[in-house]
Each structure stands twice: as structure tokens, then as C-alpha cells.
Structure 1
Amino acid sequence: MNRQDMHPPFRRFLGLCLWAWGATAAAHSPLDPATGTTAALHWSFEPLVIASMLLSLGLYAVGFARLRQRTRLGRAHRLHHAAAFVAGWLALGVAFVSPLDALGASLFSAHMVQHEILMLVAAPLLVLGRPLGVWLWALPAAARMRIGRGVRAPSVRIAWRWLTLPASAWGLHLAALWGWHIPRAFEAALAHPALHAVQHTSFLASALLFWWTVLAPAARHGGRGFAMLSLFTTMAHTGALGALLTLAPSPWYASYFESAFAFGFDPLEDQQLGGLVMWVPGGLAYLAAALTVAARWLAGRGSAGPRRDALPNS
């Protein structure tokens, strides 16, 4: 595919995304492959998704308010964490509730945008929001004590320690990404809503674990060197998957054939756009995170260096 051939479908895709953001909850006319009429792009209000999102936000708000009442110490940091959590929560809304979710059912490229928002926008922001402790403070004191005793149980501590090892989180994230993009698995998820929910849950859960090892407790798991290694190697393998999708001689996912044609895309063009979304913006996000970790590491090493006046006399 040369550059000139790519521009028309790319412009159509951007136009569809802009249209999706402004769509209302009312369904449009049904998809008609012969005439290319518009599809039903509407806001998605799955009860379980909405309930989970509202519960998470409500618990965070209550826990944040109680923490602010207890002490003034660390208020600025808590505000930064809260802002990150709300931004991540809104990113989840874009992925799961906005018309992007409906567009992803018709275009593979839009589906890839949805996945990248989950894994590269929502997940790191939610980790930076540090919600676990805040949610805990939203609960009654007796419940907090019971949960505290539960998480200190040896089996729970061993499982959590294993899941949050950099190698474990890295491997689980890789397995989720590559496993679900196998054509048979991807097609099965498109055909069965429950399996589709499992797919999205595995993407988000593995991304949360991955970003936890990179952003939250890096010092306890080998330092920032392991964080940079995780980011660079993840950039490499996700870039490889994106390149395979982009450079494939034929489309992998037959479920998108009819709907892609109805939107004015060749199915292979649609897949190439989806691969490029994973390859280029996704790779840049991992690269930016790795460079940020490296800069903080170097700054920390410089500030931790011995002072001239503290050196012993020779």
C-alpha cells in the first residue's frame, strides 16, 4: 500500500471518529452495504459496565473525602492521584460507553483504537491514581480490618507478589495481546458477547499489572532498570504485532469484511490502519514512558550522589 492510496481510507476513518464523538444515543439507520448508509453508532449503556464504573468512582470519592478529613499531609499528592484516576475513569468511558464501542463492532481499526485507549491511556492513569487504598477508606472500619487481615494471608501475599513481578506482569500482558489477536480467538470474541467481555477484561487487567510494575512499586522489584526493560521490550513485541497486521497480504478477520465495505473501506485497508494504530502511536507511548522513567532515574542518581563537602579527607 503506497502513501497516496492510504490517504482516502485514513481520512474516512478520521471522519467517522469525529462523527462518532458527536453521535447521540438515538440509533441511526441500519447498515446497508449496497448504499453505504450509516450504521447504528450510539452510546453504549451496558448495565454491568455502567454499574462497575459508577461504583468505582463513588468509592473513590468517598475514600478521598475521608482521607482529606483525617489529615492535611500529602493533600497535593492526593489531588494529583485523584486527577489521574478521574482521567483514567473518563478514558474507560470513551472506550466502553462512547460511540467508539459501536464503531469498533464495524471497523477493525476503530476496535484497535479502543484497545489502545484501554491499555495505554486508561490503565497507566488508573495506576497513577492509586485507587486501592482510597477505595479501602470508603468502607466501614470493620470491613477495612477484615480486608486487611485477608490480604495479609500468606496465599494472597504470595499470589500478589508473583503477579506484580515485572517478568510475570510482562508475560501476562504479552500473552493477552498475542493470544487474543490470533484470528480464531478474535473472531470468537466478536461472535460471543461474554467472550468479548473476557477479552476486554484481560486486556485491561494485564495492562494494569504491567503499568503497576512500571509506575508504582518499581523500587521494590529491581528498580527503574527493569521498568525500562519492560517498556522497551513491550514496545518491540507490540510493534511486531502491529507490523504483522499492517504488512499482511490479506485480511485476518472475516467478520469485518461486510461492515468495512459498507463504510467505504477495503477490509485489508481497515486492518492496515488498525495495525498502524498499534505500531506507531502505541510504540510512541511506550517509548515516551521509557524515556520518562530513564530521565527520573538519571535525575535521582544525580541527586543521590555524594556531596563534595561530605567526602572524607585524603
Structure 2
Amino acid sequence: MIRAFLPVLGMLLAASAAQSHGGGDHGPQWTFDPWVVAPLLLSLALYLGGTLRLWRRAGFGRGIGVRQAGAYALGWLSLAGALLSPLHWFGERLFTWHMVEHEIVMAVSAPLLVLARPGGAFAWALPAALRRPVWRVGQAWPLRRAWAFLTVPVVATILHGLAIWIWHAPPLFDATVRHVDIHRLQHLSFLLSALLFWWALVRRCEPGPAALHIAITMLHTGLLGALLTFASRVLYGAQTAQAGLWGLTPLEDQQLAGLIMWVPAGTVYAAAALAFLAAWLRRPGKAWRADDAVPS
């Protein structure tokens, strides 16, 4: 399965080499950045290969449920759409669409990928001779201790919040539209911190506290969105420089971006918090298990 993707990966990487990031303005277009395309294709090949291998051995839907596979498919497609589709092209030119892109990555793709629990599929995709050595590396004391610390719900919530606020510092955010490497690092930070955040809440947190962590995240991101919405001057000069091409002033572009972070993204967090609360209320007097939040 993985070998079948290598020719496709090669063609996409060759095409991306001829296309500069944000250059060649010929209208809306897909962005084939090799540093994004390669990990996306590799993760898809590993997941499909591991899932099909397990299903051939254990039976369809055994070990990796159909709902899990569906969650991974939706998470992967939303992530690829956010980072490769014309949405990314628009996001480099309009702050409003850049904000939409980020919210899809953090509030849609990340929780879906966490619910899919892709680790098992990735493991089954490896040759049998590599599974045990890879497992041993993953069980090494420093890695286990680091993972245990990073996925403490309070720690994961703080790290995710720091990633959001630090990257929205105007000089740093403007640098992402000028320098491709900084832009890649921003997206990677958002995705990884969001994966840690949702994984910690789903796998290491009871639903009541998980709802509280989401509410805290909703409040501080809503505050940041409100600050952008009601700002009386332009804070992101480079990001909003092309707003006039789309019939907006730079300040209007900034305000719309803040409104998207504040209201639609806040609605997603509120829905997730309510889902955790509903799970909590459905299990009175019973111990919470992380698998209760994961589709089978």
C-alpha cells in the first residue's frame, strides 16, 4: 500500500518544486508544498495500509472500527483541504480566510484525528520486524515521561493556548506571510498543540473537567477574537495589505478575522463542551473511561 503512493508522492513533489509559496499569482490555486504534501500522503498511506492489513487478518471493522476510519478520513480530508486547497491561497492574501484555515486545523481536523486513534493503524502498517523495535523506542523512559507530562490536561490546555496567543502577536503573524518557513512552523505548532489538547481531554480527562478545559479555551480565544474585532487600528499590516483587492479595508479584514475566531470557532468549542457534559450526565455513579468518548 505504501509503495503504491510513492509515484504519486514523487509527482506532487516535482510539481511543488516548480511552484513558489505564494508566488506566481494566477488566481486561486492549490498549494503543493512538499513539506505539507509529503507528511499528508505518508500518514494516509500508513493509515490505509495498516487498517487494510488488520482487517484482512481480523475481519472487516475489527480492531479499527468503521467509525474510527470515518473520523480519520474526515480529519485527514479537512486538514488537506485547509492546507492545500485554494483556501490556503486565499489565506495568504486575506486575514479572514487565514483565520478560517487555522480554525479548521485546530477545531475540526485535530479532534477528528484524535477520535480516530490512528496509532494502531500506523503500527500495523509497519513490517512485522519493525513493530517491536519501534514499540521499544516509544516505551523508552524519557519519551514516556515527556508524553505523560505533555498530555496532562492542564499542561496541554496551557500549551495550546500559548501557541495561539504567541503566534497572534502582530510581528510574528505578519512574518508568516513573508517567510514560508515561519508559516510552516506556525501551522505545525497549531496542529501539534491542538492534537495534544484534544488527546489529553479525550484520553486522560473525565468529561466534566474536559468540558471546563474547553470552556477556558473558548473564553480566551473568544477574548483574542474580540480584541481583533474591536481594535480601532490595523495590527497586522502585512497580512491585511491585500484586503483592498477583495473590497475590504485592512481594518475590516482584521475585524472579520477576529469575528470568525470569536463566534464560529467559539460555537465549535461550545458544542464540544456540551458533548462532554452530556457524556458526564449519561454516566451517573459510573467511572469514566476514555473509550467512552471514542467512536468504535
**Is the partner of 1:127 in helix, strand or coil?**
helix
> Could you list the per-position Cα deviations for residues 16-39 of structure 1 after superposition, in whole angstroms to 9, with x for gaps in the alignment?
xxxxxxxxx9xxxx87xxxxxxx6
> Could you list the per-position Cα deviations for residues 189-214 of structure 1 after superposition, in whole angstroms to 9, with x for gaps in the alignment?
22110011000000000000001012
Unaligned runs of 5+ in 2: 1-18, 288-296
Q: Report the equivalent of 2:81.
A: 94
Residue 70 (structure 2) pairs with residue 83 (structure 1): yes
Task: Extract structure 1 runs of 4+ deviating beyond 4 A.
Answer: none
Deviation at 1:48, TM superposition (A): 2.4
TM-score (norm 1): 0.81
Calculate the aligned-residue CA RMSD, in Å.
1.8
Residue 233 of structure 2, aligned match among 229, 237, 250:
250
Query: Does the C-alpha gap of structure 1 residues 77 and 257 become closer, same or farther in structure 2, counting only changes over 3 Å?
Result: closer
List aligned pairs for 1:77-226, cutoff 5 A.
Answer: 78-215=65-202, 217-218=203-204, 221=205, 223-226=206-209
Cα distance between partner residues in 2 of 1:269 and 1:72: 55
Deviation at 1:303, TM superposition (A): 6.6
Count of equivalent residues: 265
Residue 272 (structure 2) pairs with residue 286 (structure 1): no
Deviation at 1:94, TM superposition (A): 1.2
Residue 38 (structure 2) pairs with residue 55 (structure 1): no
Q: Is the 8 A contact 2:150 2:156 kept in 1?
A: yes
Residue 52 (structure 2) pairs with residue 65 (structure 1): yes
Cα distance between partner residues in 2 of 1:73 and 1:262: 52
Cα distance between partner residues in 2 of 1:167 and 1:257: 34
Cα distance between partner residues in 1 of 2:119 and 2:106: 19
The residue identity in structure 2 corresponding to 1:227 is A
**Is the partner of 2:73 in helix, strand or coil?**
helix
- Percent identity reads 48
Deviation at 1:154, TM superposition (A): 0.9
> Could you list the per-position Cα deviations for residues 216-269 of structure 1 after superposition, in whole angstroms to 9, with x for gaps in the alignment?
x13xx4x22221111010000000000000010011111134310121101111
> Could you list the per-position Cα deviations for residues 254-301 of structure 1 after superposition, in whole angstroms to 9, with x for gaps in the alignment?
113431012110111111110011000111111100110110111112
> Could you list the per-position Cα deviations for residues 293-312 of structure 1 after superposition, in whole angstroms to 9, with x for gaps in the alignment?
110111112677xxxxxxxx
Q: Is the 8 A contact 2:222 2:261 kept in 1?
A: yes
Query: Does the C-alpha gap of structure 1 residues 243 and 232 become closer, same or farther in structure 2, counting only changes over 3 Å?
Result: same
Residue 283 (structure 2) pairs with residue 300 (structure 1): yes
Cα distance between partner residues in 2 of 1:257 and 1:225: 40
**Is the partner of 1:278 in helix, strand or coil?**
helix
Unaligned runs of 5+ in 1: 1-24, 32-38, 305-314
The residue identity in structure 1 corresponding to 2:248 is F
Q: Report the equivalent of 2:221.
A: 238
The residue identity in structure 2 corresponding to 1:190 is V
Q: Report the equivalent of 1:12.
A: none
The residue identity in structure 1 corresponding to 2:252 is E
Deviation at 1:72, TM superposition (A): 3.8
Cα distance between partner residues in 2 of 1:72 and 1:303: 32
The residue identity in structure 2 corresponding to 1:301 is P
The residue identity in structure 1 corresponding to 2:266 is G
Deviation at 1:76, TM superposition (A): 8.5
Deviation at 1:70, TM superposition (A): 2.7
Q: Report the equivalent of 1:272.
A: 255
The residue identity in structure 1 corresponding to 2:135 is G
